[in-house]
Amino acid sequence: MKKYALFPFVLILLTACSAAVDAPPDPTSVYTAVPQATAMPVQPSPTPQQQSPSVTDTPAAPTASPDFCQDTRDLQLLSDLQTAIQTRDGELLASLVSPASGVGVRYLRNGNVITYFDNIKFVFETAYETDWGLSPGSGAPLKGSFHEIVLPSLELVLASDPVVTCNELKTGGATYVPEWPYQGMDYYSVHFPGTDEFSGMNWETWAVGMVVQEGKPMLAALVRFAWEP
């Protein structure tokens, strides 16, 4: 298992490179730590005739690349993802998403996959409620906006000095067998180990799936894992 300390990496890389919309977003079909962000948030412009995000099944995935874990551009994509989340920069977030397949977001392990394309730039602003699936334990439907449901978890994990591993899923104690659902798709596991106050049971992991398009890695999947009763 490889672990990556992204704060030093990105600092070196950047030094060397001296780098309310009430309507829902508009996806169509479907298609595992970074530095503190300093950029100011960008307010996206609303677009007309926005539609609801699509609920999709688990898609087929390309064959994993043997050189994926050696490609430093993947770590830069993770850094850009954290910057976009922390600064609520919708334009930056949309620029990371695969234009061909979109990015499938799964907040609940056995929940619905919600796929976004360029319209993901609006998720920091829209109040549109999405059906994320049935909550573990209670079985009650979990409905809410990306801003309300997904964003707090992503912010917590990405800002926690997480454990980052390549093509290996890092989680805490679980009552199920954690599995990456997209066979053949490369990913990074970004793991928050939880706190002593809750004996680590409040751990969370976001698996960030990537595909290579036009010679560069693009964001294709975001899957959350957490303790379940």
* Its pTM surpasses 0.75: no
- Assess whether pLDDT exceeds 90 at residue 89: yes
pLDDT at 43: 31
pLDDT of 100 higher than 50: yes
Whole-angstrom distance, CA of residue 166 vs CA of residue 1: 7
Confidence at 13, pLDDT banded by 50, 70, 90: very low
Res. 2: pLDDT tops 90: no
- 22 φ, ψ to 5°? -85, -15
Strand partners, 54: 115
CA distance 10 to 205: 21
- Binned at pLDDT 50, 70 and 90, residue 6 comes out as low
Report whether 124 contacts 151 (CB < 8 A): yes
122 burial via Cβ count (<10 Å: 0-12, 13-18, 19+): buried
Lateral strand order in the sheet of 204-213: 54-56, 113-116, 103-106, 216-226, 204-213, 186-192, 163-166
Q: What is the mean pLDDT of the chain?
A: 79
Every domain of the chain and the residues it spans: 6-17+53-226
Q: Are 133 and 111 in contact (CB under 8 A)?
A: yes
Contact 45, 73 (CB under 8 A): no
Please, what is the Cα angle at 223 between 222 and 225, to 5 degrees?
Answer: 145
CA gap 187, 179 in Å, rounded: 12
Rg of the Cα atoms in the chain? 17
SS3 136: coil
> If pLDDT is split at 50, 70 and 90, which confidence band does 36 have?
very low
- Indicate the class that CATH gives domain 6-17+53-226: alpha beta
Q: State the pLDDT at residue 214.
A: 86
DSSP-derived letter for residue 37 is P
* Better-scored residue on pLDDT, 134 or 36: 134
Two structure tokens written together for 196: 């002593």
pLDDT above 90 covers a percentage of the chain that reads 68
CB 59 within 8 A of CB 114: no
